[in-house]
Structure 1
Amino acid sequence: MTTPTNPITRLDRPLADLEADMKALVARQQACQVLAEAAAHTLSPSDRLAYAMDAWLLTHPEACSTADDYPNWQPGRAS
Structure 2
Amino acid sequence: MTFTPRAFQKPAPRIEQADVPLATLQQQVAAIVTGQRNAQLLTEAADRTASPSDRLAYQLDAWLVRHPNAPVAQLADYPAWAAEMTARENANRKARKEA
TM-score by length of 2: 0.55
Radius of gyration: which is bigger? 2
Residue 3 (structure 1) aligned to one of 10, 34, 40: 10
Separation in 2, partners of 1:3, 1:34 = 42
Residue identity matched to 2:47: A
Q: CA RMSD in A?
A: 2.1
User: How far apart, CA to CA, are the structure 2 residues paired with 1:60 and 1:43?
Assistant: 26
Asked if 1:22 is matched to 2:29, the reply is yes
Secondary structure at the counterpart of residue 63 of structure 1 = coil
**Is contact 1:39–1:48 with CA below 8 Å preserved after alignment?**
yes
Q: Aligned partners of 1:8, 1:60: CA distance in 2, in Å?
A: 26
Stretches (4+) displaced over 3 A: none
Distance 1:14 1:54 in 2: 31
Which residue pairs with 1:60 in the alignment?
Answer: 67
Q: 1:12 aligns with which of 19, 28, 32?
A: 19
**Letter aligned with residue 51 of structure 2:** S
RCO comparison, higher one (Cα < 8 Å, 6+): 1
Alignment identity in percent? 48
